[in-house]
Chains A and B, each alone.
Chain A
Amino acid sequence: MKKKLLKFSFNKALFLIWLIIFFGIAIKSPSFLTAPYIINVMLRNIVEIGMVALPMTLIIITGGIDLSVGNTMILSAMLGGIAYTRWGTAAAILVTLLTGAACGLLNGIIIAKAKISAMVTTLATMYLFLGLARGISKGDSIYSYGFAEFLGNISISGLPIQIWLYIILAVIFTLLLGKSIFGRKLYGIGLNINATKYSGVNTDRMLILIYTLCGIICAIAAFIFLGRFTSVKYDAGTSFNLKVITIVVLGGTSIMGGVGDMKGTILGTLIIATLNSGLTVMNIPIDVQTIVQGIVLIIALIACAVVTERSKKKRIIKVDTGEGIKSETA
């Protein structure tokens, strides 16, 4: 009961931070508050990152991490683009989705079956996917095609299609994590993977499933990314990985696993989107924006640490045993 209250208050604090940033910027520069700016600049620029942050939340809640998402996205966009020039649109869609799923599956199998820590695995696959994208494209750019442009540039009833897509995915993931047995199992894995395993959850399969899911979402983001930028080079996804993790962590999901929720991630996405576009509209150079982002992240982390510290005092024994077991298996 106590824990729930505290977590709720962290989300509320995030919401408050977002409101302050949003209206602070709006007062400083009124052109920010116009609907086209908010939709076309603020929201559209964050969609891919926000979209991948959804499955990333699931992964981080299980105590894992995926550093290869950006490279998965670029590799699937690349193979899809090559498939389009050879076999047409249907093949391109299929190849993109399959590539994403295969990349996620590879991560999942190594992490779950070979018991290699998620960070090491995805660090290695990050190099692998980056290298494959570079080797296959021979360093050239891949250009956008009909379907990707459709996902990247078309609006339906005022909102660009990728925002609709994001909203649908956000609702699905919120329900998946918050209201389903699947979601409860994920929290269980994050808090104590051995106990969860012995209470009858097939933890290996769960892990493989969420990493594959993450790969598929990366592939969907790949269409949008390609459509929005019209051409993509092999190294376009390198800074993407850490941006996604920043959003998830900003949303109050603990990197240690077991704590966090989807609403926090969505709020984190909004905060970063508002900051990026708001500081641009205020003519603040991009470098200062990076600093501001870093500082916001640190503030959120400290706030989160304070909240968890307070709740930890209530259940010291529980937390300690959890950590002990995790460090053994990790």
Chain B
Amino acid sequence: MNEKKKKASFLTTEFYLAIFLVVVLLLLGVLAKDFYSINNMMSLLNTFSYILISAIGMNMIIITSNIDVSTGALISVVCLFTAALGKAGVPFAGLLPAAMLMGAALSTLNGLFITKMKIPAIVATLATTQIFQGVLPLLVEGSIYDLPQSFTWLAFEAKIFGIIPASVLICLIVTVIALIFMKYSKFSKKIYAIGNNANGARLAGVNVNRTVVITYAIAGALFGISAIIIATAGQRVTNTMGTGLEMTFIAAVVLGGTSTAGGSGKIIGTVIGAFILAMIAPAINYLGISPNWSDAVKGAIIIISVVVSGAKYLKKKRVIPAEKLAKAGGEAS
């Protein structure tokens, strides 16, 4: 009974977000018709793809009640790494696994720092951010340019039905796998358990450290996929391509209703959150507002949605007797 209520209230958080999204999309249809032009939709879908792929990884990390602020720097490293391979003529079929491996390796480093050294995730990844960022310019001076056609194949030639970018297909595959994985796999239950109560999970027989490291590795592979979508967008790869992206990913996860305290959160919410974040910049552009305001709008949307969902949580928490709790849950849903 109680379980059912809880599930229903979770659905509504995402439900509200989805309604918000639909309303905004309808408004855009009325106010800015050019927003639905093929070109804009395709570039929006491309942005959405790489935000979502990484946000899914970030979501898994945040569910274990950890965090990763080094993602931006990590993506920059992987971008340069793949560019160096691409320059040597490696085709896309070789670049993708290489990027995933590289991302997973670097992210595993984060996981090891956090679990073996017992450093809180936010500061451990803060330190690795500095190391990644410092290593970058040593490897490459400024940028790698004049990349061959085989490198930019993903962005320019690989189109489904001639228009839809292939990154969308990758994103779709990743999302479907993630949805199934997070709902049915045994491993995902461990992730949720660790986020709720790491000690409890350990006593119940979960190898907490190993699970967290594997979670970081999986997330790192996803960051690698995002990196390759970002890197192949042009013939020039600079060493700041991922800078600041980590905040966008965390924002997408938080907007999607995942609590940074860990233990809760759904992939569907992250999908909607990522779409809203990817939409803000083009929407503002097509509404005729100066693009200078896009960050402010982004911040305001995150604050409002977080406060609204937080207010609901507060209301639930204040009621102590079980019967009242059930009642309040019923009202909320």
The residues of A with any CB-CB pair to B shorter than 8 Å are 65, 110, 114-117, 119-121, 123-132, 134-135, 137-139, 238, 242, 245-246, 249, 254-256, 285, 287-295, 297-298, 301-302, 305, 309, 320, 324, 327, 330
Contact = CB atoms under 8 A, between A and B. Distances in A.
B67 A119 contact: yes
B293 A131 contact: yes
Nearest to A298: B127
Contact of A120 (B138, B306, B314): B306
A151 B197 CA distance: 50
Most buried by A among B65, B117, B119, B124: B119
A49 B297 CA distance: 28
A123 B250 contact: yes
Identify whether the interface residues of B are mostly helix, strand, loop, or mixed.
Answer: helix
14 contacts: A114-B307, A114-B310, A115-B314, A120-B260, A127-B251, A246-B126, A255-B123, A289-B134, A290-B130, A290-B133, A291-B134, A292-B134, A305-B118, A327-B262
Nearest to A295: B131
B138 A139 contact: no
B299 A245 contact: no
Contacts of A135: 290, 292-293, 295-296
A81 to B, nearest CB: 16
Interface of B: 65, 67, 69, 113, 117-120, 122-124, 126-131, 133-138, 197, 199, 244, 247, 250-251, 254, 259-262, 290, 292-300, 302-303, 306-307, 310-311, 313-314
A301 B314 CA distance: 34
A128 B117 contact: no
B295 A130 contact: yes
Contacts of B117: 298, 301-302, 305
Contact of A128 (B131, B260, B300, B307): B300
A242 B261 contact: no
A309 B300 CA distance: 40
Given A127-B295, A131-B295, A131-B298, A116 B310 contact: yes
Most buried by B among A124, A245, A294: A124
A119 B122 contact: yes
Contact of B134 (A121, A130, A242, A290): A290
B214 to A, nearest CB: 22
A327 B131 CA distance: 30
Given A130-B295, A245-B126, A330-B261, A287 B137 contact: yes
A317 to B, nearest CB: 12
Given A116-B307, A135-B292, A297-B126, A291 B131 contact: yes
Nearest to A110: B307
A327 B194 CA distance: 12
A124 to B, nearest CB: 4
Given A117-B261, A123-B251, A290-B133, A65 B298 contact: no
Given A128-B300, A134-B295, A294 B130 contact: yes
A128 B134 contact: no
B247 A242 contact: no
A115 B123 contact: no
B306 A124 contact: yes
Nearest to A135: B293
B293 A124 contact: no
A128 B296 contact: yes
**What 5 A-B pairs are tightest by C-beta distance, nearest first?**
A131-B296, A128-B299, A131-B295, A127-B299, A294-B130
Contacts of A293: 130, 134
Contacts of B136: 287
Contacts of A115: 310, 313-314
B17 to A, nearest CB: 15
Contacts of B197: 324, 327
B54 to A, nearest CB: 16
Contact of B251 (A124, A132, A294): A124
A124 B304 CA distance: 9
Contact of A134 (B131, B247, B292): B292
A107 to B, nearest CB: 10
B299 A126 contact: yes
Nearest to A299: B127
A286 to B, nearest CB: 8
Contacts of B294: 131
A285 B138 CA distance: 9
A285 B133 CA distance: 13
A115 B317 CA distance: 11
Contacts of B310: 114-116
A36 B91 CA distance: 56
